A and B are shown apart, each in its own frame.
Chain A
Amino acid sequence: MGRTLTFNIFRYNPSDPASSPHMDKFTLDETERMTLFIALNRIREEIDPTLMFDFCCRAGICGACAMVINGRPGLACHTKTKEMPAEITLMPLPVFKLVGDLSVDTGTWFRGMYQKVESWVHTDKKFDPKAQEERMDNALAEQIYELDRCIECGCCVGACGTALMREDFLGAVALNRLARFILDPRDQRTEKDYFDIVGTDEGIFGCMGLLACEDVCPKQIPLQEQLGKLRRKMALAAVKNILPKFLKKDF
């Protein structure tokens, strides 16, 4: 305690023609148990009322507050100042469209993503309100939950070299989402359906496998494992698609 913290914060308001991208410096006295959530709110309320950033749950659950903290994507509400050097640099997440300062538009990006992977259960069954629920093995339900835990914070996308280079890259988060539906017996899509979505350079074959995504995921989702599994599955499906029909049975 007793430290004075210096914050270097990226500033730019695209709606204001007078604004141009630059860094601003703010200083605060560190208080006990301070997090970036507390610090940024204090800066806005006590020093500069125009500072733009996003928080919602402030409890590491909603994914709203992802930003680049001293060079690394992470959740700001989750970050304690006492574990940081006295000089802290904050930048908005790359890849996503900038709203202003540290705030980016994750909503549009993720909506695009889940439309592309059709992130819902595909079934031709009809819900019957009078019937008992269809049974499911609990271990399987827990497996699905493991992949369902993604909070769409965008850290993995912000850390991904491929996503930075090609706008249409789906990213580890989308592949993880698809893996969730592949696991789910309620989803009746076939391997070919899945292949059509991700069996391209926009999908699984664009990934360079450098692991940055898993390193930064605040929910410790096993992204690499999912990427690996999908890659093998999709490679197999790719082969199946070019082989003549009569040969496929052997797979």
Chain B
Amino acid sequence: MKIIQTDLLCVGAGLAGERVAIEAADNGFSVICLSIVPARRSHSSAAQGGMQAALGNSAMGEGDSPDVHFADTVKGSDWGCDQEVARLFVDAAPIAMRQMAFWGVPWNRVVPGEQTYYKGGKPFTAFEKPENEGLIHSRNFGGTAKWRTCYTSDGTGHCVLYTLDNRAAQMGVSVIDKVEAIALIHDGDTCMGVIARCLKTGELTAYLAKATLIATGGFGRIYRESTNAVICDGGGLITALDTGVVPLGNMEAVQFHPTGIVPTDILVTEGCRGDGGTLLDKNEYRFMPDYEPEKAELASRDVVSRRMTEHMRKGLGVPSPYGDHLWLDIRHLGEAHIRTKLREVDEICQSFLGVDPVYQLIPVRPTQHYSMGGVRTNKDGAAYGLKGLFSAGEASCWDMHGFNRLGGNSLAETVVAGMIIGGKIVEFLKGAETVIKTASVRDAMDKQNARIADLVACKNGSENPYTVRNAMFDSIMKGAGIFRNGKDLETCVAELQEILGRARRVGLRSSGKGANPELTMALKIEGMVKLALCVAYGALKRTESRGAHTREDFPERNDRDWLTRTLATWADGADLPTLNYEPATHIFEMPPGDRGYGGGKIIPMNG
């Protein structure tokens, strides 16, 4: 058995994983990061928009402070977040951005004097103070009272990730790519590392560590239509759920974006609608004003996504080989505007669709975008259930996002959480010694070897893993998509349970040798269906609407009964998760109130 040992093992080398790794390496500990792809290809690189921190350097950010950022974040979360964590986050965010600057991020900077900016397709001018020249600039993002989003042109995630990976290399962090963690090594009490499969050779290795971090990003790929990279399939969460003792928090909280392009679900920016783009159905009829007479296409992300789905359910979607979709029309904005102000959208349409948006309609559909749920941790980033296990980034439910995360707050979370949780892990590493039990390591390894042998031999059956995955896609999108109701969720849960049975009977058509991709899928599919069940079952039980979780049959936000966080664990052999609940927050710096957007009635806490 191949064994590799280190102080800290980060499963995931995106922004969150690497930021934690750097903190530990900086304090003299040995660190290994595992990643499915080279670190710089992690999904963090795809974020173009930017990251929020209340620096208040720009004219439109003037008067901003961590307090304003805090209020925006808590409102955005629909009061579902842990307010203590939101406070830690907003206070540390400015430091984290400056540190990124120090390490080499080429942030856009303030240019003094009169500047032209755009809002709602219209130009306006603002005066940037000469004394702020050269400080970190910020742009506008939805749901914030001030312009607060730090950015590097249209490549924020890319630049920040490359800078962090450079820093990690400098600090001697060892990043091992094309490796996938498939199980945690633990004894029900302490986590001792992971069993991982090499995606170059197929070989299994036991990585042993005093502290293990899950920073594997989102699990959007349990939905067919997702803006997420194809590797965002919840691998890290599956290893946590499989322990039977580590709970996943708020898995039903899934954010959708209205305009993913069809077929590949690449995101086109909200700016299209902000600038005056409209949505059309198969008859090229503009339907949004019928549903939302006031705001039409400019209602919030979740509202527009819901209306689009409703309209397609009436049979008014455009049929295509990839399923139904709607049209986004920006033709009336004109060539000059599209080729300059919406350059990125123009490029995406031309490169990936062969559509020229100046003359043609853009095929779009609502698309899964962000996972608020994840490995539940305390404010130090320590996972519930196992000592020595931590989690950070989109994979975690550290929980500053509650039921809806604001644009720009996720990228910021990765580095801020990385800094804070990294510090806590350093304290942990300085304290206890972990005793590695060889029996636990051997058991974990034997179990994974046996699983692979069974899959290759089709011992449990010969279901095709891709067919099973497609069945899961159909079921979850229908039942636990943007719109939810008791009846559809019940059907969805029942279907997914049946699909789980099939997932347990998959077998390979091929030999499974080497980097075999069929085996990769087969090893993961049962866990993916379990994640889907955590989402659907959690959504069924949560009889209220909060943030991105919308129950048609329970339209009000119910603070009386549901100011809670769902905790899902999975008992060995069960075909449903066990759900428990804890208060959403122990500290109310800001008592529950109206978000000021999104509408909906509220049943008050003491109502």
Contact = CB atoms under 8 A, between A and B. Distances in A.
Given A60-B351, A100-B515, A137 B106 contact: no
Contacts of B158: 61, 148-149, 151
A202 interface: no
Contact of B134 (A58, A114, A137, A144): A137
Contacts of B199: 99
Interface in A87-140: 99-100, 103, 105-107, 110-111, 114-115, 118-121, 125, 127, 129, 131-138
A226 interface: no
B99 A129 contact: yes
Interface in B559-599: none
A177 to B, nearest CB: 10
A49 B166 contact: no
B266 A133 contact: no
Interface string A8-27: 00000111100000000000
Interface stretch (B39-47, B185-193, B386-394): B39-47
B509 A49 contact: yes
Contact of A110 (B38, B97, B101, B229): B38
A62 B199 CA distance: 18
Contacts of A121: 102-104, 166
Given A56-B229, A82-B354, A115 B169 contact: yes
Contacts of A13: 513-515
A14 B198 CA distance: 14
A95 to B, nearest CB: 15
Contact of A138 (B37, B110, B321): B110
Nearest to B321: A31
Given A60-B351, A142-B153, A136 B109 contact: yes
B169 A152 contact: no
A148 B107 CA distance: 12
A211 interface: no
Contact of A56 (B43, B107, B515): B43
A186 B105 CA distance: 10
B466 interface: yes
Contact of B354 (A15, A50, A80, A144): A80
B136, B162, B466, most chain A CB atoms within 10 A: B162
A158 interface: no
A51 B518 CA distance: 9
Nearest to A49: B518
B135 A135 contact: yes
A45 to B, nearest CB: 4
Contact of A59 (B39, B201, B266, B513): B266
B471 interface: no
B353 interface: yes
B178 interface: yes
A35 interface: yes
Contacts of B508: 49
Interface in B348-393: 348, 351-355, 363
B343 interface: no
B510 interface: yes
A221 to B, nearest CB: 12
Contacts of B511: 16, 50
A134 B37 contact: no
A245 interface: no
A50 B266 contact: no
A51 B134 contact: no
B177 interface: yes
Nearest to A137: B134
11 contacts: A13-B513, A15-B515, A49-B508, A56-B37, A80-B354, A100-B514, A127-B102, A133-B136, A135-B133, A186-B102, A186-B104
Given A49-B466, A49-B508, 20 more contacts: A13-B515, A15-B514, A33-B355, A33-B363, A57-B229, A59-B46, A60-B352, A62-B46, A62-B229, A63-B40, A99-B199, A100-B514, A110-B38, A111-B175, A121-B104, A129-B99, A133-B135, A148-B158, A148-B162, A184-B106
Closest 6 CB pairs of A and B: A15-B514, A135-B134, A107-B38, A49-B518, A120-B166, A107-B177
